[in-house]
Amino acid sequence: CEARGCSWCPTYVTNAPWCFFSDDTPYGYSLGGNTEQTTNGWRVTLNKRQTLSLFGNDISPVVLEVEFQTKDRLRFKLYDPNQERFEVPLKIVSPGVTADEANYEVE
């Protein structure tokens, strides 16, 4: 774990990983700007931190969209804003709620 640059922290929290990348790791993505408020949630751009790659074929930037669909359902979508892709034409009708109305929390 530590040889890969991970942090090791045993925990008794259910389903929490003991091995993880800390915030200052060269791997992963970081916030590429401000969180943008949308009609039903948020949109944020993420940029790859460095040229190091764990899996290869990394995309940067990546857009994360979070949509509060119902009090019990959250939808998130990660996509490459520079490359169009096929998406199943499935329309999910939802009333849309605010973060305060949801039965879950997003940080």
Is residue 28 within 8 A of residue 50, CB to CB? The reply is: no
What was the pLDDT predicted at 25?
77
CB 37, CB 21: distance < 8 Å:
no
DSSP three-state, residue 45: strand
Structure tokens at 45: 């751009």
The mean pLDDT of 91-107, rounded to a whole number, is: 85
**For range 69-79, the mean pLDDT:** 93
pLDDT of residue 17: 83
Q: Give the least confident one: 25-29, 47-51, 88-92.
A: 25-29
Which sequence spans correspond to the domains of the chain?
A: 27-79
Mean of the per-residue pLDDT values of the chain: 86
